[in-house]
Amino acid sequence: MKVLGLVGSPREGGNTEIMVKEILEESSENGAETKIYNLNELDIKPCQACMHCKSHDGECKTDDDMQILYKEMAESDAFVLGSPIYMWQMTAQAKLFTDRLYALMGFPEKLGETSSALVFTQGNPDGDLFEDYINSTKQVFDLLGYPVKGLLVSAGDQTLGDVKNKEDILEKAREIGKDLVN
């Protein structure tokens, strides 16, 4: 059992990283091997819409660090994608990753039985404000073939590490970490 963590915030030690790590820690305590990547540190280019993948069994021909993640994902049973809300949406780093999953669409044998969880942090204190966006993002991952087993939003996080003081959110993160394994 392997769970992969993908952090879509450029901020080291930020709220996204804290939540993703909390999930991974709980997955680890429940017997999973875990690994974490910060998408900001990887060289992930935008999808070029070349459609090479569609005639090559889901193989993306862009030779960048997304190749590392395709391999990691193929070997993982679940992954957690975390992102701050930037301008009402996920960060550009998280979106580059998400777009590149297009290569795997239509190739279920490449996906395996991988489930997912999505975590968001936002500065605005209204946790329902981006509900439509977050639900449609969930639909994207469900449709791609990574059923979303956990969805978590931490609202009102203005500064680095705010979420550390939110035991309710951290507890929900731990529940997700457990659910991904069981």
Ligand X SMILES: Cc1cc2nc3c(=O)[nH]c(=O)nc-3n(C[C@H](O)[C@H](O)[C@H](O)COP(=O)(O)O)c2cc1C
Q: How far is CA 13 from the centre of its chain?
A: 17
Mark 140-159 with x for binding to ligand X (rule: CB under 6 A) and - for no binding: -----------------xx-
Bridge partner list, 36:
5
The b-or-e profile of 107-129 (16+ CB within 10 A means b, else e) is eeebbeebbbbbbbbbeeeeeee
| Length of the chain counted residue by residue | 182
Q: How far is the CB of 143 from ligand X (least distance, A)?
A: 24
Does residue number 15 form part of the binding site for ligand X (CB under 6 A)?
yes
Compute the chain's Rg from CA coordinates.
Answer: 16
Nearer to ligand X, 20 or 66 (CB): 20
Segment 61-100, which members bind ligand X (CB under 6 A)? 84-88
Q: Which stretch binds ligand X (CB under 6 A): 10-18, 46-54, 57-65, 68-76?
A: 10-18
Longest dimension (CA), the chain: 49
Bridge partner list, 115:
78
Which amino acid makes up residue 82?
G
Does residue number 49 form part of the binding site for ligand X (CB under 6 A)?
no
Mark 95-134 with x for binding to ligand X (rule: CB under 6 A) and - for no binding: --------------------------xxxx----------
Cβ neighbours around 78 below 10 Å, total: 28
Q: How far is the CB of 50 from ligand X (least distance, A)?
A: 30
Q: How far is the CB of 52 from ligand X (least distance, A)?
A: 33
Q: Give contact residues for ligand X (rule: CB under 6 A).
A: 9, 11, 14-16, 84-88, 121-124, 157-158, 160
